[in-house]
């Protein structure tokens, strides 16, 4: 797996990452969603450097300009519900992309810390021969992304696979490296320290879905 870490140098990305972590601004859901969206825009720009381009001629009012445009067909897919603001950030830049949405959540059958991943809903465009970009804010254990990936592969075979996450734990990255193809690209805005005993990212930011859309039952 090719891993791209995006926050190693100083940039506005770190500014937005700091705000989404800050408990003093967590009561402002709109600000949280907007910052996740802006992080998605930055990640989309960085990912765009790995895409394939074709030369084109543009007619301007004063002449012809030779430039390039994206050649790849993209399918953006997010994991509901936390992935929606990040998805929107990518869609702001890849506005011609097709889209997909999949539900996946931690199911605790014994009401303890053990869980499995349930994937119950999907609506996605044809991915055959296209670049699949799977986005999810938090990469904790990695089980949700692998479960969604396996479900999507039942629908076809993409040309390239990109996975974009805002905050990742080392354990989740190791799980993806073990269970996903070597040619996948993993884009990480920020790498955190570890998972705690409940398998949540530390220092992390809490539950991204709750912070974006309110607490769930």
When divided into structural domains, the chain yields a total of 1
Residue in this structure with the two tokens 């067909």, named with its chain if needed: 73
Span 52-63, mean pLDDT? 98
Q: What pTM was estimated for this model as a whole? A: 0.93
**83: domain CATH number?**
3.40.50.2020
Reply yes or no on whether the pLDDT at 213 is more than 90. Answer: yes
Instruction: Band the pLDDT of 45: cuts 50, 70, 90.
Output: very high
Span 79-104, mean pLDDT? 95
Q: If we measure between CA atoms, which residue out of 82, 122, 120, 117 comes closest to residue 102?
A: 122
pLDDT of residue 192: 97
pLDDT of residue 40: 98
> How far is the CA of 175 from the CAs of 84, 119, 145, 179, 212, in angstroms?
23, 18, 10, 6, 26
Residues facing 68 on adjacent strands: 55
Q: 13-40, pLDDT tens digit by residue?
A: 999 999 999 999 999 999 999 999 999 9
Give the residue numbers spanning the domain of 158. 2-213
Q: What is the DSSP letter of 205?
A: -
Q: If we measure between CA atoms, which residue out of 147, 127, 142, 126 comes closest to residue 186?
A: 142
Inter-residue contact 166 to 190 (CB < 8 Å): yes
pLDDT of residue 28: 96
pLDDT of residue 120: 82
The 10 Å Cβ neighbour count of residue 14 is 15
Q: 159-211, pLDDT tens digit by residue?
A: 999 999 999 999 999 999 999 999 999 999 999 999 999 889 999 999 999 99
Span 80-84, mean pLDDT? 91
pLDDT of residue 121: 87
Reply yes or no on whether the pLDDT at 108 is more than 70. Answer: no
Instruction: Band the pLDDT of 64: cuts 50, 70, 90.
Output: very high
Reply yes or no on whether the pLDDT at 7 is more than 80. Answer: yes
């Amino acid at each position: 797996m090719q891993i791209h870490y995006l926050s190693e140098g100083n940039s506005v990305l770190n500014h937005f990452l700091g705000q989404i972590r800050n408990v003093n601004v967590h009561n402002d859901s709109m600000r949280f969603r907007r910052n996740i969206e802006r992080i998605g825009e930055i990640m989309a720009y960085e990912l765009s450097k790995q895409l394939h381009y074709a030369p084109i001629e543009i007619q301007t009012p004063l002449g012809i300009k030779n430039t390039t445009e994206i050649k790849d067909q993209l399918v953006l897919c997010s994991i509901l519900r936390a992935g929606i603001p990040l998805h929107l950030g990518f869609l702001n830049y890849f506005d011609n992309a097709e889209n997909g949405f999949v539900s996946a959540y931690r199911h605790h059958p014994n009401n303890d810390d053990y869980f499995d991943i349930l994937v119950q809903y999907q609506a996605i465009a044809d991915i055959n021969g296209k670049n699949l970009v799977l986005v999810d804010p938090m990469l904790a254990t990695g089980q949700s992304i692998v479960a969604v990936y396996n479900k999507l592969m039942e629908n076809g075979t993409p040309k390239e696979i990109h996975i974009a996450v805002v905050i990742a734990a080392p354990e989740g990255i190791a799980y993806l490296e073990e269970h996903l193809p070597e040619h996948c690209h993993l884009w990480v805005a920020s790498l955190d320290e570890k998972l705690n005993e409940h398998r949540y990212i530390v220092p992390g930011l809490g539950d991204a879905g709750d912070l974006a859309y309110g607490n769930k039952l």
